[in-house]
Structure 1
Amino acid sequence: MKWKKHIRTLMLKNYLFNRFVLYIRRAIFFSSYLKMKRNSKKEVWEIKELSEELKNSSTEWCLDASNFGIGWSLEKYIKSTKVKKYYLEHGLFLGEFIHEDTLYVNTDYFLVQSPYRKEVLERKFKSKKIIEIGSYINYAEDYYSEEKIKVLKEKFGKTLVVFPSHSTSEITSEYDKESLIKEILSIKIRYGFKTIIVCLFYKDVQRNENTEYEKNNFLVVTAGNRFDDNFLSRLKSIIKLSDMTMSNNVGSHIGYCLALGKAHYIYKQEIEVKSTEQLKSLEEWKNRFSKEEWETLDKERSKIYNTFKEYSESISTEQFKLGQYYFGINNKKTIDEMKEIIGG
């Protein structure tokens, strides 16, 4: 809706309007805020409860930082809610694509995860200060204690964590689930895994995508709703439970796994994207990128896929270098360094 876009643009441009709208929104959606707090006690396998709809009740000045608990994690890391006005992207962006927010946001202070993204934004915005901070997951607190992780790992034995391609509020991600399950079972037998954990995005839990995985005795988990402050923390603990990680598509999860020292394997599948009721048409979604942007994006995706298409339980030098360039896996800042970067 055009009026929503106008309000968002004004929130990006005007700090006082931003504060007014977000605190009003917190009050209106306070029940979602309370539900999110209650969910902080849930286990990662309580997927139905963690996947319930939440309204965005965040008061993060940077609108993208309200996604996946990124802003909340950064503030907890430096132990302060007083931060500079900064802008960041909420996930992996490939190609030359830039979010429309960057054209309006009232700050010259951009945070990025990787050298790759810094290069792209520096080409687009000559006057902005672009700062690499590395993988966001490095700043998230662990959802589970070290002791609990140890107990669970002893219980699960050798564990493979799988990240199937996920849907969003605007699109569904369709793939040959039977083929993926067959590959997972083959790997389980071949490499001696005791436990298979499948981490689903909350939208896919809502679509009951967990059913087929559970029929094969896989443990299905979720990091929760995208507007849940503990999303990254849950994801961090889920990855830490693994001995090996796997997916069927390129995404942020690859960088997060590498940042936590976990090797990754991509089982390439054709992913069919379909529009949901929230999107007028699939063409609307596709038109967000120009033809040239799609071509560059596909080229970068292929490069990442080709680097992870062979199964290996150790991270190769080539994979580490790619992980550093595209995902910033080894760029974690100290608390003092991060205070200097974002402290208010």
Structure 2
Amino acid sequence: MPSTNRRRFLATVGAAGTTALAGCSAFGGGRPDVNPASGLSEDTSHALEDEAVYLAGETADLPDPPTTTDTVEDADAVLATASADRVELVRAFRAGKPVAFAREGAQNALRGLLERVRQEYTFGVETVVGRPVETVVAVPGGNGTVETYTFVAEGGWPDPVLDPFGWALVGRVPECDTFVPESSADSEYDYAGSAHVAGRLDTGETYVSRTTGSVRRYENDQRHVRLRTAMHVAANDGYAVERAQRVADFANDEETTNWFPNPHTQNGVEVSNHSDPVDETVDVTFTPVSGRTRSALTGCCGVSIEESVAYDHETDFEWKHDRLLGSDVHHGGGTGRGEWHLDG
């Protein structure tokens, strides 16, 4: 999407979100009293209105975007099923066009596309297993990196394909509420892509986990990899944010270092860190301790690792509504595999 269109869309949904959320409480059955600013609660299918979308594969199984084109050459973006001609999609991707896969087999189709271009790009993907995933997106960057998106089908988007696809083009992850360390060596690391897992419950709660990879390369072909994860969660209609948890379990023969954050409370978020350097496991929980963060919070954590990067992940979000007799709890997120290709 052209940058002017992106700014216009974000300004529109930001203003609408602020108006809708102002003056309400996260506990009284109303909407949260802050604007989570992610765009996940908005109709992000509108982001495709200025994009010419090419449909590929079993097109009868796909929804109709606002604007379409009959040729991939004239397209700004591509929406496909798993049966689409991979050569055609690779050509579009190399030309800088975002590619989304929808319906059955979407995650495997995305992996197949990225395997075809792995010599030219660096990227990471976090898959989700055991839960429905209907839409995945890969957005190529001009510097040889890719942002990937895995959308859990939680039932909350009016259109489970076009809304997530639109969000991948214009959505944002709010800034961290929690501590993120700085280092004098930050300039030595090159951005290598981001992997997102996102969802919107049928009751309106939203979440996104974004893991960003960066690499420092040495003359002897060794490298040092940073993975930094932002966990954003927003409440809806009386169900307040209860917690967000990030777990990443690396192979025991991998060497993980530089864990963060230490346990602390900042900006209304309490951080507990149960990571285990012996088992090479990241395990961080973010809990709200103020009215603002019970409406929406963003917690951040990270780890460094040498050489290969693959792990089992658990991305867990929880909301709770307290009642006179007991409470109700909503859950979101998923578990799966995270893998990074860093040799593009």
After TM superposition, the score normalised by the length of structure 1 is 0.24
Q: Which has a greater percent of helix?
A: 1
More strand by share: 2
User: Greater RCO between the two (CA within 8 Å, min separation 6)?
Assistant: 1
Q: TM-score, normalised by structure 2?
A: 0.24
